[in-house]
Structures are given as C-alpha cells and as structure tokens.
Amino acid sequence: MLGLLGINHTTAPLEIREKFSFTNDEIVQFAETLSEIANFNDIVVLATCNRTEIYFSQKKYNENIALGFVKEALVLCKHIDEALLENFYVKFEGNVVKHLFSVTSGLDSMVLGEDQILSQVKDAYLFCTEAALTDAVLMRLFQKSFEAGKRVRTETKLNCGATSMSFVAVDFCNSIINNIQQKTVLLIGAGETAALVMQAFFEKGVRNFIVSNRSQEKADALVQRYSGKSVGFDSYPMYLSQADVIITATASKTPLVTSEMISATFNGNQQLYIDLSVPRNIEAIESLPTGVSIITIDDIQKVIEANTQKRKDCVSSAEVIIDEVVAEFMEWLSFRALRPVLRAIKFNLQNIHREEMKNQANNYKLADLQIIDSYCQKLITKYERALIKNLKDLTENGKNTDSLRMINKLFKLE
C-alpha cells in the first residue's frame, strides 16, 4: 500500500510549514520512531522550502491505520499540536503516484514548471535509499517519477523562463532596484539555492558578491565560480551595511538576521532582504527603517502568479505525459501483486512432477525416465503459460483485488 501525508504552499502559510521542516538527521529519527510504533519504516521524506511530504509503503495495515501511525510519529518527532495536522493532505495508491509525478514535473510547484524541484526530489530519494529506508515499491515509484519529470521538461515548454524560486527572486530584485549591476549582494548560505541565486545575479550583470557559509570551503568554491569574496560565518553581520541585497538560504533552525542587526547596520540607502529559507532565517519585524524591505517566499508568489499564465498553456500536454507514466507504474504495481501466486503455481506443478518422477524411478530405465521427464517439463510449461494468461485476464493483471484474494486462497497464500 502506498500512502502520502503532506503539507505545501497551497495548504498552509510559511509560519506553519516551517514547523515541519526536516533535516537529514531528523528524517532518520522519524523513521526510527515510526518503526518503533508501527513496525515499518519504508519512507521517503521530501522537505523543501515549499513542502514537506512523507511517502510511505507497507503491507501490514489498512490505509487508515497506517496513516494514523505516520501522523503519530510526526507529532512525536516534531513536538507539535495534533490540530496542526489539519493543514496536511492525504493520498493513497494511484493518487500518490500521480501527485509525485506532478511534483517532479513542476506542476505542483509555486513556480509552475520549476527545475529545482526535480533535483530536490532526487536528493531526498537518494538519502532515504542510502539510509536503507526505501523498499522496492518506493524505489520503482521514484525512478518513474524522474522519468516523468524529464519527459515533461523535454517534450513540453512548461519550464520556459524563470522556473525556480532563486531565479524568480532575482527577477524580483531587478524589478524594484535600479542599476542592479552596480549593487553588492550578500549571500548567507552556499547551498544549491544560493548557487542558483548567484548564477542568476551574475547573468544580470552583478559582479560584487559577498558569500558567508558555515562551511568556508563551500563558500570559497562558490565565489571561485563567479566573482566576489567569501567571509567567515561568524562575521557576516559586519557586512550587512555593505550590501544592497541580502539573501538568506540556509537550513538554520533559528533566525540569522535579527531586527537589532538590521537597525544597527542600516546605512541609509535602499536595502532589500530576501529570505529563501524554511524555517525563516530573517526575524519577523513589524517596524523597519525607511528604505529597508524584507521579502519572504510567500511574498515572491505574487510575482510568480504574473508569470504563470505563459506556462499554463503547456499543462494539458504535461498531464498527458504524466498519465502515461502513471499507467505504466500502476501496471507494474498491479502485476507485482500477482507474483506470489504465479510463483506458487510453478512451485506446485514442479513439486508434483518431482514426486511422480521419484515414485516412478524404479519402474523405468534411466533413458526412459529422461524422456518422460523432458515430456512432462514441456507439458508443465504449457500449463503454466495457460494458467498465467488466464490469471492475468481474470484479475485484470492484478488490479481486481477480489479475484486476487480468491486465487490466493486457492493456492493457500493468505
């Protein structure tokens, strides 16, 4: 059984979504908690700035019971009020498949058709797989989701224009700050999002960068690709006054830029702070110095909506591709349910054959036994093929669960 418990930018505001962000260590902790209370932990946790989704696969329980265990583990690990789970959506089986394929294709993103989500899904899948948290069903599911995402991007124009939060944020800066090429940009963080931001600014003509990151090595590597300088993570507050645009993009659980820092370092010129982090890295401030603006991920959505219509024309073509790949996966999943009974048929026929050959061992010469054995094997193969074909037809290739249950009882597989 496939299940999904998720929250995203359409179901909850940032102040609620950030309560459910996950680090890799927290994903492992969540899996351990789920294993303790439910005795299953085949999961993939996708945690980005716009969503947290828990995909799970198991055979022990029905949908509601399994979902209850996942919710219980989430409440325990995040230490949150259970009432917040009202912001989550729930999906099962084929709806999980279609949703994930839509996510990897960029159809479910704040920026319609964004590219960054595909690499984020891959990273989440690879981490959970390397942590031994995925079973064969989840592995196949996510591999097919990458296929869907790639096909949509190559066969449609869904990702034309700025299609990541990073590039949209830079476009937003360019629209409200004059002569952006002459400005100084301070990046706090040096991960994938920060790298995309720097690339986008560089393409706009910006050459004055300051990069600060907990890992000095990553900050150095980033500035080597473009221009600018890297500074120690403990000293970034001293550089706030030198920057016209300050962008935070880290996984810090606590604010890195406070109201006191902004007030103390304000240089009197226009300054734009953009927070691309979840949880937020810039403290929520009600009163700002004149000339200072703070933009969050949710604020950027207003700009995104203006650019979305161009890509909406490609959605129907993308959905056709997604439906094709969903059908392929569901066919594989259904046939997988037939495998135990098919193995039982082959085993039973071969077992009968072996017993009869053993009983007749003293009644025939060796050469005759070999002829009989060969002839029987051909008969078994023909009967196997006929039975398997009929079973596939009867169960609609494993989709008809009522017929499948009856057949399982017939071969004593329950």
Furthest C-alpha separation in the chain: 106
Do residues 328 and 166 lie in contact, with contact meaning Cβ atoms separated by under 8 Å? no
Which residue out of 49, 77, 128, 173 is catalytically annotated?
49
Residue found by looking up tokens 């989709």 in the block: 399
Q: What backbone phi and psi angles, to 5 degrees, belong to 355? A: -65, -45
Which residues touch 55 (CB under 8 Å, ≥6 apart)? 2, 3, 4, 43, 44, 45, 46, 96, 100, 138, 141
3-state helix, strand, coil in the chain (%, to 5): 60, 15, 30
Q: Which two tokens stand for residue 169?
A: 């944020």
Do residues 87 and 20 lie in contact, with contact meaning Cβ atoms separated by under 8 Å? no
* Inter-CA distances, 297 with 3, 87, 123, 237, 280, Å: 28, 18, 21, 22, 9
| DSSP-derived pairing of the beta strands 245-248 and 229-231 | unpaired
The span from the CA of 275 to the CA of 287, in Å, is 17
Residue found by looking up tokens 């590597």 in the block: 221
The span from the CA of 216 to the CA of 239, in Å, is 16
Which amino acid makes up residue 317? S
| DSSP-derived pairing of the beta strands 292-296 and 271-275 | parallel
DSSP for 98-163?
Answer: HHHHHHHHTTTSSSTT-SHHHHHHHHHHHHHHHTT---HHHHHHHHHHHHHHHHHHHHS-TT-S--
Residue found by looking up tokens 């907990």 in the block: 214
**DSSP-derived 3-state class of residue 41:** coil
Clarify whether 173 is annotated catalytic: no
Query: Which residues are catalytically annotated?
Result: 49
